A and B are shown apart, each in its own frame.
Chain A
């Protein structure tokens, strides 16, 4: 699997994504600067986390208009898989690859912790290695993760299997807290209609090795490598 990671001024989790992709696929991903207008031929495009342009306007709003994003949209239309994580989710949503919007966390504070999620749909290379309904733990680290869309769209997303992950409270755990940011119906991540684009707030790339304390994010990258190699 060949992958490209788009780097904006202010991206800061691109190194985490490089490490995760390289560890699982054995191939170093391309780093593509936001001012470039062309992408190499790749099977997967990752839009990483961070604070693109400082997120001083609205998270992801500036980056969505970077030159490279036209190319990312064109590739997405051709069916190339796109993974937007955290700020990347905000960027690809602002760019119109996914419906809805990401607002300030309900508690108005940045929040970083390990969060329980439920895998809602496994019919995609991103989630194929998980079982439907499986509970996984990914870290979260965001201030603007409050996903919102109108009730009709939520209904459609659910009906079409476009909800990828939901935050859940896991009462059996020492830290059972659920939805960290007030997102509509606890949505943590969504697909586009063809399930070739995934945007999510949590960080699977920071849960891929023993050092991270859990490896629940690894199957996502393994699933992509298996489907796209």
Chain B
């Protein structure tokens, strides 16, 4: 390859090329104005990814700024690779959730696998050893021809990557809805722990300091991946398969160990992974944050393919690569570590005082443009938006004609795709490696993972109810945060902070933009009221195919802390004769409930409102009881309402329930999805104490019954056996996945 051959591959830079690269005519003109000349082909590629929705947050930034991001516990909020939160004793928890939606639809196995790899790098690049992975998945209707293939590929991809790197995948959520037929959501979250005095940031410093490339070699995979993730899908999306990257978890595992080993030395000035837009975003962001220039000479950069051009190298999204600024003279120390782990290591440039990004290769300069003006000029739009019209709760008339036996209704609900057991999925994930997993999916409302070598533990949950968000984005946004906070409280953890993964349709449509604005507003309100700030996040827009948008899905990843992993409480009933209590008020809100959709066949009404003051009071009360050792089993009452919550606790423990608390109540009391509620099981000798404490705290508590036998039963006899519920619950997903296409 030579300069001549490179030039021969380049195309004339015009407004048409800019459009092909995803920029508008106006944005192209802006680039011309900043540079005072026509950009080179390489520069045009770099500018287009820097200004893509995926990298610039141009539609969302103005709203994201309104979110609360501070608190005494916050060490580092949004803007770095991940959020950092103090958990005491000189320890910090570092976490983020990120989407890999577009690639996972096109190539589910590699798309999901590299999603896991990318989020792991965001966390260990800051100095944390990853201790847990989670994932939030949304698929289309089970009846859709692609769904089975997508579920199978995504789950296998997550398993392939997470299992090999040796980070336990401890939980998540999986939903199905026709609105995801053309755009699935794959949101992956990683949580790591570090010492508060050993956290690494991305701002470059020190003119002349060496810029070092480590990890996998660069190939032609993923070129313009960030541009693809910033556009709607059409029929020809299949053609975008080459923009999907290919993951190598073995190299990632070596990269984790090598980077953490290097971090034990004092050789690093700054470090960042090469994620979306690869070498472009890492070099520009590191130099830009430090207010410096950076000069790269790409000839020595490790390459996987022959005859690569500077444009291809700068835009490649090859995986498992990191960019490091070293202190001068530490190259040998660092190289020895990467040699030991058999990873590539190359000094590819240095920091300068020019403020420019300079790219040299084959003896020529292919890019020389000022970083700050180009970064600062990244477009920022206040797009027009329409608020979503408010709905009201559904009238009692929806129940007309409903006369099904309760046991039959419960059996149907337990076998419906959203409530059916996801064992088929989570048994493919190694949830135990590390030996610190106290609770994983299905065992408790939040996963609980001990901090290695200590007694304290972090609790982790991912939550969002997209059907609520569609009906009312503000209440839906609030509810997602409140449910995350509730799930952490339900295991006994003190909620600390969240990461938000905003998945929406095309922001250029006012209706969709209105969903986004509403969700941000609701999230912000809940974060403020619950002292639960946003410390990291990711936005995925343009989740549309042929003009059909997904359900608005602001997925919330919540993290909490508890002093001892062993005080955590799970959902399973443990003993016969425990008293079953409902904490929180049941009004019977049935709009947007699972019951309404699955049993009555209607998706309508307002979602249940969230009273944040009540939420906080009830959660603080439950957490206090758990810390006092008064709670045997605990579960938040969410999808399906109180009766489903109780049945889930019974199934998890293999012990049934004798229920008296619903006698004479309307069906709404059984299946309503009122917020801020928990179901607890307590030993009979402390039940009175718990009720007194509730009275003192002003928290409504009612007795629903007691744990007993192997079925749900009441004064009228057996309602349904656990055996029947279990068959419905465990049967659906394996049967679905093994069915002939």
**Chains A and B bind each other:** yes
A contact face: mostly helix, strand, loop, or mixed:
mixed
Question: B258 → chain A, closest Cβ, in Å?
Answer: 10
The chain A residue with its CB closest to the CB of B453 is A19
The chain A residue with its CB closest to the CB of B653 is A174
The chain B residue with its CB closest to the CB of A11 is B166
The chain B residue with its CB closest to the CB of A143 is B163
Across the interface, do A56 and B452 meet the contact criterion of CB distance under 8 Å? no
Complex interface residues of chain B between 598 and 629 (CB less than 8 A to chain A): none
Select A211's contact among B248, B250, B430, B450, beta carbons within 8 Å: B450
A130 proximal to B (CB < 8 A): no
| Assembly CA distance A89 to B342 (angstroms) | 25
B341 proximal to A (CB < 8 A): yes
**Which of B431-439, B509-517, B578-586, B682-690 lines the interface with chain A?**
B431-439
Complex interface residues of chain B between 304 and 361 (CB less than 8 A to chain A): 341-342
Select B250's contact among A15, A51, A111, beta carbons within 8 Å: A51
Across the interface, do A12 and B435 meet the contact criterion of CB distance under 8 Å? no
The chain B residue with its CB closest to the CB of A209 is B435
Across the interface, do B566 and A110 meet the contact criterion of CB distance under 8 Å? no
Across the interface, do A112 and B250 meet the contact criterion of CB distance under 8 Å? no
Contacts of B535 in A (CB 8 A): none
Across the interface, do B253 and A112 meet the contact criterion of CB distance under 8 Å? no
Q: A51-B163, A51-B164, A109-B428 are in contact. Are A9 and B433 (CB under 8 A)?
A: no
The chain A residue with its CB closest to the CB of B343 is A9
Across the interface, do A112 and B430 meet the contact criterion of CB distance under 8 Å? yes
Across the interface, do B163 and A141 meet the contact criterion of CB distance under 8 Å? yes
B670 proximal to A (CB < 8 A): no
Across the interface, do B166 and A112 meet the contact criterion of CB distance under 8 Å? no
Question: B156 → chain A, closest Cβ, in Å?
Answer: 8
Across the interface, do A12 and B433 meet the contact criterion of CB distance under 8 Å? yes
| Residue among B159, B341, B435, B438 with the highest chain A CB neighbour number at 10 A | B435
Across the interface, do B433 and A141 meet the contact criterion of CB distance under 8 Å? yes
Contacts of B452 in A (CB 8 A): 15
Question: A166 → chain B, closest Cβ, in Å?
Answer: 21
Contacts of B342 in A (CB 8 A): 9
Q: A10-B250, A56-B250 are in contact. Are A205 and B163 (CB under 8 A)?
A: no
B563 proximal to A (CB < 8 A): no
Question: B563 → chain A, closest Cβ, in Å?
Answer: 14
Across the interface, do B427 and A112 meet the contact criterion of CB distance under 8 Å? yes
0/1 string, A1-19, CB within 8 A of B gives 1: 0000000011011011001
The chain A residue with its CB closest to the CB of B436 is A211
Contacts of B429 in A (CB 8 A): 110, 112
B15 proximal to A (CB < 8 A): no
Select B253's contact among A51, A111, A203, beta carbons within 8 Å: A51
Contacts of B434 in A (CB 8 A): 15-16
Question: B731 → chain A, closest Cβ, in Å?
Answer: 14
Q: A110-B163, A113-B427 are in contact. Are A10 and B253 (CB under 8 A)?
A: yes
Across the interface, do B165 and A12 meet the contact criterion of CB distance under 8 Å? yes
Contacts of B436 in A (CB 8 A): 211
Across the interface, do A13 and B166 meet the contact criterion of CB distance under 8 Å? yes
The chain A residue with its CB closest to the CB of B254 is A9
Contacts of B527 in A (CB 8 A): none
Across the interface, do A211 and B433 meet the contact criterion of CB distance under 8 Å? no
Q: A9-B341, A15-B434, A141-B433 are in contact. Are A211 and B565 (CB under 8 A)?
A: yes
| Assembly CA distance A205 to B163 (angstroms) | 17
Contacts of B159 in A (CB 8 A): 109-110
The chain B residue with its CB closest to the CB of A16 is B435
B249 proximal to A (CB < 8 A): yes
B242 proximal to A (CB < 8 A): no
| Assembly CA distance A51 to B256 (angstroms) | 14
* Between-chain CB contacts (< 8 Å), 16 pairs: A9-B253, A10-B253, A13-B166, A51-B249, A54-B164, A54-B248, A54-B250, A110-B430, A111-B427, A111-B428, A112-B163, A112-B428, A112-B429, A211-B450, A211-B565, A211-B566
Q: Lowest 8 A-B CB distances belong to which pairs? A: A12-B166, A54-B250, A16-B435, A51-B164, A141-B430, A174-B654, A112-B430, A110-B159
Chain B positions within 8 Å of A, measured between CB atoms, are: 156, 159-160, 163-166, 248-251, 253-254, 341-342, 426-436, 438, 450, 452, 565-566, 654
